[in-house]
Amino acid sequence: MKKTILLLLFLSFLAPLLLGAEDTTSSRLVGTWVWAVHRHDCTVTYNADGTYKADNDGTTIKGTWKIEGDQLIETQKGSSSAIPSKIVFDSDKSFTLDGFQTYIKQAK
């Protein structure tokens, strides 16, 4: 009986941490980020409503995004294919996708 109570107490403290991880990652992602590649900047804005807008040398791409576990899942407007990428926050001002694309948060 004591073991069952201890297990339930442990799970009651652990569950909010695990369930809230996606919300924390989502809130950290909201904002405008820059990815510099081959002397070009790609600017991506992730909105709190789950939409994004990417601008790269005059080309604009829009779509939706969500976090599932450690995956950023983006779906480009007009496409039914979702693109998952492993997201790792290096700090509050940078994150890396799939281990090689590093984005830097723009100052407001």
The residue ranking higher by pLDDT, 99 or 87, is 87
Q: Specify the pLDDT at position 30.
A: 94
Burial of 5 (0-12, 13-18, 19+ CB in 10 A): exposed
**Tokens representing 75?**
């779906």
- pTM of the predicted model as reported, rounded to 2 decimal places: 0.75
Residues of the chain with pLDDT > 90, as a percent, come to: 44
CB atoms within 10 A of CB 29: 22
pLDDT band with cut points at 50, 70 and 90 for residue 23:
low
Q: Which amino acid is at 60?
A: T
Nearest residue to 66 via CA among 103, 106, 22: 22
Say if domain 2-105 classifies as CATH 3.40.50.410: no
